[in-house]
Structure 1
Amino acid sequence: MSNIQDKVVIITGASSGIGEATAKELAAKGAKLVLAARREDRLEKLQQDIQNTGGPVIYKVIDVTSYEQMEELAEMALKEFGKIDVLVNNAGVMPHSFLYKKKIDDWNKMIDVNIKGVLYGIAAVLPTMREQKSGHIINLSSVAGHVVGPGSTVYAGTKHAVRAISEGLRKEEAGNNIRSTIISPGAVQSELINLITDTDLKPGIDKLYEDVAIEANSISRAIAFAIEQPYDVAINEMIIRPTSQER
């Protein structure tokens, strides 16, 4: 039996890409899922797909930039399933741009979703996990959390922050048997690049993703691997690139 069987897993950004693939991967291994995203039509379809295979799954429409909504999500998980074993902090945005373009709204959106959203997710589940003396928080960073490229400056800043937050969480909560995992994907087939409006950058990024991007289930398998380890084993960090991606 998989160590994922019957674990209650909250997934943010579950309506597409890595979040959707992770929901399907974990459902197939017997997890009880709490899905969260902004697009209800996508969540409803995903719920139906998973229920067709017999998996227990609920969803809630939320915006991760709202602490109150993240608290409500955690409360819903507890009410339905009685515990929270895993949080996958997957929601994120990537509107790359050169700094001189001064796309301030995009900067604020990345800070709000990629940093505050991660923190709000941690805050929502941590009291329960500390009380349980067990839990697992998986934060999605990026290769941009390791290497800063032209045009990715603000995005990379947010993803470096995710790594710092994850490492701090690990050190603070190891004594409570709460595991922390950072997963840093390279180019993955998803909707992330659709938000890029900088016309000097987008063609090159589109070409990169067209040439090398790997499927989202390449990341969902890694997430499942981290979750299914024995309780005394913590997979703290993984970088997962397409083989042909140089940086």
Structure 2
Amino acid sequence: MNPNPYVKDRTFVVTGAGGGIGQKIVRILLEQSALVVATDLNLESLKNLQNDLRKYSHNLIIAKHDVTDYNSWREVLSVATSQSISIYGLINSAGYLKPVYISDAKPEDIVNHLDINAKGVMYGSSLFAKYLKKRENGHIINIASLAGVSPIPGIGLYSASKFAVRGFTLALAEELRSFNVKVSCVCPDAVDTGMLDLQLDYKEAAITFSGGPPLSPYYVASEVVDLIGKDTLEILLPGWRGILAKMNNFVPDVGKFLINPFQDRGLKAQEKIKKKKTIK
């Protein structure tokens, strides 16, 4: 990908950096000469990332971070500001997903989805919004999901949490527009990460697999980095699935005619992917 001129020599905080999309975002930012504060609850995964990217050690800071704890967010901001004259961007990539039918959900399932996916984004975005608003410059990017555009049965809790992220992000964008602070939402389809692997054995998650081959974490990460500095409210990945999601969002009754064929397609895809992974 071509370097983004808004990245070089600027400082970014990336959550969920221990794996998946977040890890790839960190790598691309460092390759484009950014200073990165990479955070995750799993400190061991951050240390592994630090080791893998040791040639960028002068530009990489790692920090253990619980996105559900506001004080932990304040500590991250303190670490970032102590290492840089100014922070340009926050990229919220941390996430949680457990396939479960809503009627079978336990209280902790509801709490985990809302705390990590929604509350974590709201805590971080509100704190960094205050900081960036004063500086009148910067960009907040929140990773949502196509499940936050069109509801997905079987992962309804995840879907609801990502609807919250999307609505919150779009509202925040309007609040910060006059302060020259950009806010964007990235809504990808299924991505080939550990989170997707956890869904392979759940028929509840079949529709997640109905869109063809999963997107690569690098592809999504490159789209996120390319978005930095642009006044774009949201991007849907891939575009054709985004159109379907928007249609279902605009006219929910459309979904009644799509659920069964998409579920059948997803179940077949699940089996196909499991066989491939078994062969490997």
Q: TM-score, normalised by structure 2?
A: 0.79
> RMSD of the alignment, in Å?
2.4
Aligned to 2:22: 19
Structure 1 stretch displaced more, 89-98 or 13-22:
89-98
**Judging changes above 3 Å, is the alpha-carbon distance between structure 1 residues 125 and 139 closer, same or farther for their aligned structure 2 residues?**
same
In the aligned structure 2, how far is the partner of 1:24 from the partner of 1:209? 29
Q: Secondary structure at the match of 1:137?
A: strand
1:68 and 2:57 aligned:
no
Large movers: runs of 4+ above 3 Å: 193-200, 242-247
Matches within 5 A, 1:217-232: 217-227=218-228, 229=229
Indicate whether 1:236 and 2:233 are aligned.
yes
Counterpart of 1:214? 215
1:89 to 83, 89, 92: 92
Gaps of 5+ in 2: 246-280
Deviates more, 1:174-183 or 1:46-55: 46-55
Larger Rg: 2
Gaps of 5+ in 1: none
Correspondence list, 1:111-130, <5 A: 111-130=114-133
Does 2:146 align with 1:143?
Answer: yes
Higher relative contact order (CA 8 A, sep 6+): 1
Structure 2 matches for 1:56-205, cutoff 5 A? Answer: 56-193=59-196, 199-201=202-204, 204=206
CA–CA distance in structure 1, aligned partners of residues 200 and 227 of structure 2? 35
Amino acid at match of 1:173: L
Match of 2:263 in 1: none
Secondary structure of residue in 2 paired with 1:4: coil
Residues 150-200 of structure 1 show CA distances to partners (whole Å, capped at 9, x for unaligned) of 112221111111111111111111111110110001010112235559844
Paired residues in the alignment total 241
